[in-house]
Amino acid sequence: RIRYDKLMYLVWKSYLPLSLCYICFFVGLKIFVLY
């Protein structure tokens, strides 16, 4: 149980910056296309 929670925590920690980077890139691309 504890090991599984730790694994999920590590996966979330590594996934969160990637998704934030993707969202920022998508928003920037949309702004670049609009202007």
Domain map (residue ranges) of the chain: 1-35
What's the pLDDT tens digit per position in 2-17? 788 899 899 888 889 8
Residue type, 25: F
pTM: 0.50
CA atoms of 3 and 17, how far apart (whole Å): 22
For residue 22, what pLDDT is reported?
94
Q: What is the mean pLDDT of residues 12-31?
A: 92
DSSP SS3 for 4: helix
